[in-house]
Chain A
Amino acid sequence: MANYTAIRKWADEEVSAQRADKARIAIGLGTCGIAAGGNTILEAAEKTLANNDEIKADIVSVGCIGICYKEPLLDIEIPGQPRLSYGPVTPGETKKILENVFIHNIYEHKKALAVIDDESFSEIPSWHEIPFFAPQERTVLRNCGFIDPEKIEDYIVNDGYAGLSRALLDMTPEAVVKETLDAGLRGRGGAGFPAGRKWTIAADNIRALKEKQSDLPSYGYVICNADEGDPGAFMNRSVLEGDPHSVIEGMTIAGYAIGASYGYIYCRAEYPLAIDRLKLALEQAREKNLLGENILETDFSFDIKLKEGAGAFVCGEETALIASIEGDRGMPMPRPPYPAQSGLWGIPTIINNVETLNNIPVILSKGATSWAKKGTEKSKGTKTFALTGKVQNTGLIEVELGMSLRQVIYDIGGGIPDGKEFKAAQTGGPSGGCLPKEQLDLTIDYEALAEAGSIMGSGGLVIMDESTCMVDVARYFLTFTQSESCGKCVPCRLGTKRMLEILTRITAGHGKIEDIALLEELAPSIRDSSLCGLGQSAPNPVLTTLKYFREEYEAHILDGRCPAGQCKALITYEIDADDCTGCMVCLRACPTEAITGARRELHVIDPELCTRCDTCRQVCKFDAVLVA
């Protein structure tokens, strides 16, 4: 059984046999689902089933559907009925819902979230009607949360490996490269280099190498960069956990297109679940002859090895990543030569991000024209974002490129919680910048973001409100880049350290007004003279916060004040005499015994003993603790 028709037939039969007479209870057990308590829901569901013989269903764990703020999620799918989603559920509610649905045929519940692709329940909205999902376009996340990532048949029945089949059977490698070029797919790892151009260069070099030498194990390599290191980003993790085959298929197509026989997936060690699912997916693909020797009965052979990263942010840079696979310190090399000319072990290599590769099967199965219908002229397609921070609806989202920041934050994200005011949107992680409310109508595409001083990056989108200190944010990112700097080139190694020192002294209340000019002098020199992207982009958070939030820097330096009330050296905690009820909750919670007072009497904080740990403010039910 090795041709695609036979494989597809097998998958269809498997899936219909599995689903035919048995209901399915799906629990979101991505990393986020687990953190929200997904495992307790799984236990509750198992227990409910064990205690009720009438409930006949399979319990499966699925990846992340993206609506993280409603985790833990419970999905129920009964044959012949639409799929229902409930969340966030507690173990008790899980039991109740399962009994209601399976025994009493009652579907409504206060935690009923949505019904997937069906309008038959008047009281439960279809998921397209939920504001969080309505403006989204799901291409990359087409399968996440819908299929069982541990079953290859689930992927195949959703058109999985159809792109590979079309590429191998109906197209020449050159035609596959051209299709990718025509689609206009740009690198989703951050820089936005056209994937098709990278492939063209690699394909040319591989052809030249084949003419020169005849005894190499592989004339080219395909590397999937899954070293998602940006703090505040989890798009790739969700794809790897929820749809691992899409990446394997994308890599295999890439291998065919450029003429490579081997690939590597370089995955962060911090993603153990993603690694497990990839290992399983690789085995399944080999078993079904979708990977390995003579794929789908053709002459093309390709295999993939999985490499675990060891915790170095700089290894997201292509030449550093290659050094790391080779067993060295992950230090970048000057380019050119680019990896597409001379990469892994000196062989032409393409390095594509998880999301870039995940788009490839769709481009091949649906065609470049159809794929490129979405997006703007220069930024085609859709992009996933990890929408996090001070926003109502946090989660993993995917939107058509060209949507405005405002739409993402307010329509999908539901705005800022607790009635607070929006301050900034941070894109691009430590390499990106903070965009202020004046930029809310900015469209999300590669050029517009760069023009505003930030970058698209891999998709981290952290929202900040009035209680976020922008100087502290700049200091935070510099702490990160400084500690992750590999130390090879001086501008990055010493430059980030000096910038961090300056930012630290400003947040500690020891800043001088000349410090601002010094930062503005240092930043461009570091940007222009660093060896790799890490150093070149490290000044971005400083430059954008200086550009858009200069008054906050000045308040720290000139007035000794942190307007956001975050910098410990510049704030004091006080208890408001009008609001304090003397309930003693803060007094008991204070770890340094800095609060005194008796029951029903005003409590007082001793500023000498207070460590500004914020515990009192968080435990106070009357908002009586003030930060000034």
Chain B
Amino acid sequence: MAVTTNDRSALIPLLQQVQVEMGYVPKEAITEISKELLVSPSEIFGVLTFYSQFRLNPTGKHMVKICSGTACHVRGAPLIIDAVEDELGLENGEETTEDNEFTVEKVACFGACSLAPVIIIDEDTKGNITPDQARKMVRKIIKAEAKKSVAAQKSEEVVNG
């Protein structure tokens, strides 16, 4: 019987740590971990892509998570997803908007089924949401961002001017 080695079991926690810090797992991290644990990069890549939690690319500035659990599904989650994707111009399963402002993620289940359908935008959790409300939540953020960039431009003008 093989003597238990705990090194290999550190792989997933390490990847999780990288993702918490960076928001995704960059290629360089795979190389580093590979050297550390003496596991080949291809094997790490295999583990990484197996689990839906891990991302290979950075996410947008704002995270929109829409629950697609059973309770949410029967209470209209597909309509929420359509509404948000339409509002953000995401097509054909794209997850992140071109301007890197938003990433939309369909989550299997938040476990807040009693309040279905549920959406989480950044830190803001809302239950019993309608497609119309979901659109409004997204629009509000877009508006706030636009305001911020105008303000930033103005202050830049002041500095430069």
Interface residues of chain A, those whose CB is within 8 Å of chain B, are 31-32, 34-36, 68-69, 71, 213, 216-217, 228-234, 237, 269-271, 307-313, 324-331, 345-347, 386, 388-390, 394-396, 426, 429, 460, 462, 464, 468, 473, 476-477, 480, 486, 589, 591, 611, 613-615, 618-619
Tell me if A613 and B75 are in contact (CB < 8 A): no
Tell me if B11 and A228 are in contact (CB < 8 A): no
**Which residues in window 109-161 of B have CB below 8 A to A?**
109-116, 118, 125-127, 130-132, 135
Give the distance to chain A from B44, nearest Cβ to Cβ, in Å. Answer: 10
Given contacts A36-B127, A345-B4, A429-B70, contact A330 B111 (CB under 8 A): no
Tell me if A486 and B50 are in contact (CB < 8 A): yes
Tell me if A313 and B108 are in contact (CB < 8 A): yes
Q: Which of A232, A311, A326, A328 has the most CB of B within 10 A?
A: A232
Give A68's nearest chain B residue, CB to CB.
B114
Q: Name the contact of A390 in the complex, choosing from B46, B53, B74, B114 (C-beta under 8 A).
A: B74
What residues on A are CB-neighbors of B112 within 8 Å? 31-32, 34-35, 234
> In whole angstroms, what is the CA distance A32 to B71 when docked?
13
> In whole angstroms, what is the CA distance A36 to B15 when docked?
33
Residue B96 is within 8 A (CB to CB) of chain A in the complex: no
**Which residues in window 25-39 of B have CB below 8 A to A?**
none
What residues on B are CB-neighbors of A35 within 8 Å? 110, 112, 115, 118, 125-127
Tell me if A329 and B47 are in contact (CB < 8 A): yes
Given contacts A35-B118, A329-B50, contact A231 B108 (CB under 8 A): yes
Q: Mask for B62-79, Cβ within 8 A of A = 1, else 0?
A: 000000111111111001
Interface residues of chain B, those whose CB is within 8 Å of chain A, are 1-2, 4, 8-13, 15-16, 46-47, 50-54, 68-76, 79, 82-83, 86-87, 107-116, 118, 125-127, 130-132, 135
With contacts A34-B112, A213-B1, A394-B115 known, what are 20 further pairs, Cβ within 8 A? A32-B114, A216-B4, A231-B69, A232-B71, A233-B113, A234-B111, A234-B112, A309-B53, A310-B12, A327-B8, A330-B51, A331-B50, A388-B114, A389-B116, A464-B74, A476-B73, A480-B108, A591-B135, A613-B79, A618-B131
Give A346's nearest chain B residue, CB to CB.
B1
> In whole angstroms, what is the CA distance A613 to B83 when docked?
7
Give A483's nearest chain B residue, CB to CB.
B52
Tell me if B4 and A270 are in contact (CB < 8 A): no
Tell me if B70 and A231 are in contact (CB < 8 A): yes
> In whole angstroms, what is the CA distance A613 to B75 when docked?
13
Tell me if B132 and A460 are in contact (CB < 8 A): no
Tell me if B111 and A615 are in contact (CB < 8 A): no
What residues on A are CB-neighbors of B113 within 8 Å? 32, 232-234, 386, 388-389, 394, 462
Tell me if A388 and B126 are in contact (CB < 8 A): no
What residues on A are CB-neighbors of B12 within 8 Å? 307, 310, 324, 327
> In whole angstroms, what is the CA distance A71 to B114 when docked?
9
What residues on A are CB-neighbors of B53 within 8 Å? 269, 309-311
What residues on A are CB-neighbors of B73 within 8 Å? 231, 473, 476
Give the distance to chain B from A239, nearest Cβ to Cβ, in Å. Answer: 11
Give the distance to chain B from A536, nearest Cβ to Cβ, in Å. Answer: 20
Give the distance to chain B from A540, nearest Cβ to Cβ, in Å. Answer: 13
Tell me if B52 and A311 are in contact (CB < 8 A): yes
Tell me if A31 and B110 are in contact (CB < 8 A): yes
What residues on A are CB-neighbors of B16 within 8 Å? 269, 308, 310
Tell me if B13 and A589 are in contact (CB < 8 A): no
> In whole angstroms, what is the CA distance A347 to B47 when docked?
23
Tell me if B47 and A232 are in contact (CB < 8 A): no
Q: Name the contact of B9 in the complex, choosing from A69, A71, A231, A325 (C-beta under 8 A).
A: A325
Pick the 4 closest A-B CB pairs, nearest first.
A232-B70, A68-B114, A234-B111, A310-B51
Tell me if A229 and B108 are in contact (CB < 8 A): yes
Tell me if A329 and B74 are in contact (CB < 8 A): no
Q: Which of B11, B110, B111, B113 has the most CB of A within 10 A?
A: B111
> In whole angstroms, what is the CA distance A347 to B4 when docked?
9
What residues on A are CB-neighbors of B111 within 8 Å? 31-32, 228, 233-234, 237, 270-271
Given contacts A217-B4, A231-B108, contact A327 B116 (CB under 8 A): no
What residues on A are CB-neighbors of B125 within 8 Å? 34-35
Given contacts A232-B71, A327-B8, A327-B10, contact A310 B116 (CB under 8 A): no
Q: Name the contact of B70 in the complex, choosing from A324, A345, A460 (C-beta under 8 A).
A: A460
> In whole angstroms, what is the CA distance A477 to B71 when docked?
12
> In whole angstroms, what is the CA distance A464 to B1 when docked?
51
Give the distance to chain B from A518, nearest Cβ to Cβ, in Å. Answer: 25
Tell me if A328 and B114 are in contact (CB < 8 A): no
Give A70's nearest chain B residue, CB to CB.
B114
What residues on A are CB-neighbors of B127 within 8 Å? 32, 35-36
Tell me if B114 and A394 are in contact (CB < 8 A): yes
What residues on B are CB-neighbors of A390 within 8 Å? 74-75
What residues on B are CB-neighbors of A269 within 8 Å? 16, 53
What residues on A are CB-neighbors of B131 within 8 Å? 613-615, 618
**Mind listing 24 A-B residue pairs with CB under 8 Å?**
A31-B112, A32-B113, A35-B125, A216-B4, A217-B4, A230-B70, A234-B111, A270-B107, A270-B109, A310-B52, A311-B52, A312-B50, A325-B9, A326-B9, A327-B12, A330-B50, A389-B116, A394-B114, A394-B115, A426-B70, A460-B70, A473-B74, A614-B131, A615-B83
> In whole angstroms, what is the CA distance A508 to B127 when docked?
29
> In whole angstroms, what is the CA distance A390 to B75 when docked?
7
Given contacts A231-B108, A327-B11, A327-B12, contact A615 B1 (CB under 8 A): no
> In whole angstroms, what is the CA distance A568 to B12 when docked?
41
Give the distance to chain A from B46, nearest Cβ to Cβ, in Å. Answer: 6
Tell me if A310 and B114 are in contact (CB < 8 A): no
> In whole angstroms, what is the CA distance A329 to B69 when docked?
24
Given contacts A69-B114, A310-B51, contact A591 B108 (CB under 8 A): no
Tell me if B9 and A591 are in contact (CB < 8 A): no
> In whole angstroms, what is the CA distance A320 to B9 when docked?
14
Q: Which of B79, B113, B130 has the most CB of A within 10 A?
A: B113
> In whole angstroms, what is the CA distance A307 to B50 when docked?
17
What residues on B are CB-neighbors of A429 within 8 Å? 70
> In whole angstroms, what is the CA distance A71 to B71 when docked?
17
> In whole angstroms, what is the CA distance A593 to B132 when docked?
14
> In whole angstroms, what is the CA distance A36 to B118 when docked?
10
Tell me if A389 and B75 are in contact (CB < 8 A): yes
Tell me if A328 and B115 are in contact (CB < 8 A): no
> In whole angstroms, what is the CA distance A460 to B113 when docked?
10
> In whole angstroms, what is the CA distance A611 to B116 when docked?
22
Give B54's nearest chain A residue, CB to CB.
A310
Tell me if B75 and A614 are in contact (CB < 8 A): no
What residues on B are CB-neighbors of A217 within 8 Å? 4
What residues on B are CB-neighbors of A346 within 8 Å? 1-2
What residues on A are CB-neighbors of B116 within 8 Å? 388-389
Give the distance to chain B from A470, nearest Cβ to Cβ, in Å. Answer: 11
